[in-house]
Structure 1
Amino acid sequence: MERKKILVVDDEEDLCEILQFNLESEGFAVDIANSAEQALKIISEAHKLILLDVMMEGMSGFKMAEKVRKEMHLNIPIIFLTAKDTENDMLTGFSLGADDYIPKPFSIKEVSARVKAVLKRTGNQDLPETKQTIEAGELIIDLVSKNVILKDQPILLTKKEFEILSTMVKSPNRIFSREDFLTRVWTDDGYVLERTVDVHITRLRKKLGDFGKHIVNRSGYGYCFEI
């Protein structure tokens, strides 16, 4: 089986070599970049995950993540590695499309476990289309039939509600701005107000009942699905 390729981006060369050695020992293929600028030159769709330091000389990890998502339009999972661990920094990371956040210092075992967890969680894109389902506790989303089952009961959702829900559940704990939803869900519509997103999410929460509490509003940032 082909080894999954990971890109490690950190200006600490020794740390990069340690991560490369250990992750390759776990069966991954690992590329290294010692700056965001270097990483942007070598990154490709072949990379299945990025381990990205936030505080680097030159371009920051946050800025690189923004370029990867908004300019290169690559949806590669990103795990931030950083000495910063305040709530605001975490929210900034998640709002830029981070899939996880590991504060330094960390153990190599922790990094390995987080990498495997994120790859497993985002692995639906690699499944055969007939098996494309997402499960989150008692919630099951079938991406082929467009059916949603909660506690063994079908939940009737509109097309927009289904796409909002599936977008969030595919990337739990990731914050999506209202603009993100408008770009992803209202692709064929004309001018749509951001308030429209709030209305649809309110309806979606109501249909999900108690389970709707997992859809959380991060004031000033957007919405996320919290496990």
Structure 2
Amino acid sequence: MKTYHILVVDDEEDLCEILKFNLETEGYSVDTVNSAEEALKLDLGKYDLLLLDVMMGEISGFKMANMLKKDKKTANVPIIFITAKDTENDTVTGFNIGADDYISKPFSLREVSARVRAVLRRTSLSEDIPVTQLIYKSLVLDLLQKRAVVDNIDVPLTKKEFEILKLLLENKDKVFSRDEILNQVWNEDSYVLDRTVDVNITRLRRKIGIYGKNVVTRLGYGYCFEQD
């Protein structure tokens, strides 16, 4: 069973510790910070949920949430605002930014737990749906039919070319070394040279036309599919 990773952002240290203790008792992995500035130094895309106070320092919870929603790496991270502000305008502002829920102080820990469970259940439903296509603009990789399509035209890829493209599309902008590609694509073959990866990458670039430029070489490191 997946352990959900939650970040609590609140300038009240005691409240952070109380929330951390109770949520960890429920089986969650919990980190805490006491300002938006601290939070923004973290890899926020790794969290399954943020509990975010509104009234904080120079960067308010609303401002931080607005920043996250504009960043593709964090746009889909669920947010529950926790705040003493409970006017209708504040609530509307929170939801307009993209909040998934809004809890007003003072609150009961049972209420927080219930709302956390509800948001995670709702936002995690998509995790149970298997991915059948990888899509980048007009480049489509059909994982069921093992087909590659560019601009509605089939592209005849070999099995290895298909698997390389699948690996890169599943991890856009991540650089894979030749050894990593060999291990993941040729894992059943013991005697394959690094040069084999280069040859397949060259053929793949040629076959996928305008998207060949997106398969980028990082000299000394490896290859990645770079978004533009």
TM-score, normalisation: structure 1: 0.55
Distance 1:46 1:73, change over 3 A: closer
Post-superposition offset of 1:45: 2.2
For the residues of structure 2 that align with 1:121 and 1:72, how far apart are their CA atoms? 20
- Name the Cα RMSD after superposition: 1.6
> Which 5+ residue runs of structure 2 have no aligned equivalent?
132-228
Higher relative contact order (CA 8 A, sep 6+): 1
Match of 1:67 in 2: 67
> Which 5+ residue runs of structure 1 have no aligned equivalent?
131-227
On the 8 A contact 1:7/1:43 being kept in 2, the answer is: no
On the 8 A contact 2:80/2:99 being kept in 1, the answer is: yes
Match of 1:123 in 2: 124
AA paired with 2:120? L
**2:88 is the alignment partner of 1:87:** yes
Task: Show the 5 A alignment for 1:41-56.
Answer: 41-56=41-56
- The number of residue pairs the alignment matches comes to 131
AA paired with 2:89? N
**Which is further off, 38-47 or 117-126?**
38-47
For the residues of structure 2 that align with 1:90 and 1:116, how far apart are their CA atoms? 20
AA paired with 1:29? S
**Structure with max Cα Rg:** 2
Post-superposition offset of 1:73: 4.4
Task: Show the 5 A alignment for 1:31-42.
Answer: 31-42=31-42
Post-superposition offset of 1:44: 2.6
**2:111 is the alignment partner of 1:98:** no
For the residues of structure 2 that align with 1:72 and 1:57, how far apart are their CA atoms? 25
How many percent of aligned residue pairs carry the same amino acid?
A: 62
TM-score, normalisation: structure 2: 0.55
**2:14 is the alignment partner of 1:14:** yes
